[in-house]
Amino acid sequence: MDRFTSWTAACALACAAVSPALAGFTPGGVTFAVNSSAGSASAVFSGSPVSANSWTWSGSWSANGASVTWNAIPVTWNGTSMSLGGNFVVKNSTASTQSFVIDIALPGTFDGGTEWLVGGSAAASMVNLSPFAGGLTSSGPLWSASFDGSTLGTLFSNASASVDPFFTGSLASQSFGSPIPGQPYTGGIASAARVRLSFSLTAGMEATITSAFAAQVVPAPGALSMLALAAAAGGRRRRR
């Protein structure tokens, strides 16, 4: 086998390892579910294509004086990386405290044992539209990301933010896996990548939550060394 053929074979193997053929994520079919003390709903959204690997979707839910609006939520999946993010505006116009659990799922499958880098971030701003002191609280994490229910990261554990009447408040941004994505994870995906928001709002409170979650496949073991060998072989061939 000549050097050119050797280089071609090595490059083919390396490129296959760096960019594995992945089973089907379906970013166009994001599931959005709300469970609250004011009511619940679940729906699958087809999304609007932005490019070959990017979609955006929006919508709203309301029941009994509570509502959730999501706007221009971006979803990307290019074969070796994914992201799921966006803004959520949650309003409690009822006369009592309401709890909310918002689940966003990006359905798909991926072989077990795959190595990933994962990370995410979240922040919140609030306005109190009532004449009484109010706020936002969470029992456990306000934000979490998972593959098939296996938690990858959580943010704002037991969150508590008080807001005076007709004033605003905020929860400063928190993140994990920085630089995002930077936290190692090994495993597969059998059903979906998910983000969950779980919290309570007092009467008259409105909260805007910004959420971002990203994951990237790590090249298979030996892929980078094969690429190095392929490049070296190509260099030797060019010098001859």
What is d(CA 65, CA 57) in angstroms, rounded to the nearest whole number?
24
Q: How confident is the model at residue 232 (pLDDT cuts 50, 70, 90)?
A: very low
Pair 4, 235: CB distance under 8 Å: no
Mean model confidence pLDDT for the chain: 81
Q: Is the peptide bond prior to 141 cis by the omega test (within 30 degrees of 0)?
A: no
Mean pLDDT across 185-207: 94
Which pTM value belongs to this model?
0.81
* Cβ count within 10 A of residue 179: 8
Please tell me the predicted confidence (pLDDT) of residue 12: 29
Pair 191, 148: CB distance under 8 Å: yes
Q: What is the pLDDT of residues 37-82, one digit of tens each?
A: 999 988 777 677 888 778 887 888 999 999 999 876 778 877 788 8
Please tell me the predicted confidence (pLDDT) of residue 8: 27
What is d(CA 178, CA 89) in angstroms, rounded to the nearest whole number?
26
